[in-house]
Structure 1
């Protein structure tokens, strides 16, 4: 898995956009005390469920692979 050039910024963007998506969809209500790892996992699972991203094989699901997958998803979004 090759790290993207601006992966850190893309992960932040994915968290922001993914949180808004989950809340508008009525699937989640994130609290300020929720950890970024928990948010990422939930957003990843929601996007997989909605067939917006391809799922990773279950044995490959890790914090790092989820971050990478969400960064790729964010890089394909039109919003800044």
Structure 2
């Protein structure tokens, strides 16, 4: 299923951007509205392996950029 992968990558990006990621007062959670957008957009992607690959690659690149300290595009 795509949803856990997409939500997980979004969460990793938030964690990489959060300097206080161990502080329970500053959680890194994907907002519910964004979850709904992920679910809706996945319906359009599910028929195309290229679209899935592109989206997952973009999310992984954003996580890598955050970890490296570079602002994602």
Q: TM above 0.5, one fold?
A: no
Please report the TM-score for the alignment, with normalisation by the length of structure 1: 0.32
Q: Higher relative contact order by CA 8 Å / sep ≥ 6: 1 or 2?
A: 1
Q: Which one has a bigger Cα radius of gyration?
A: 2
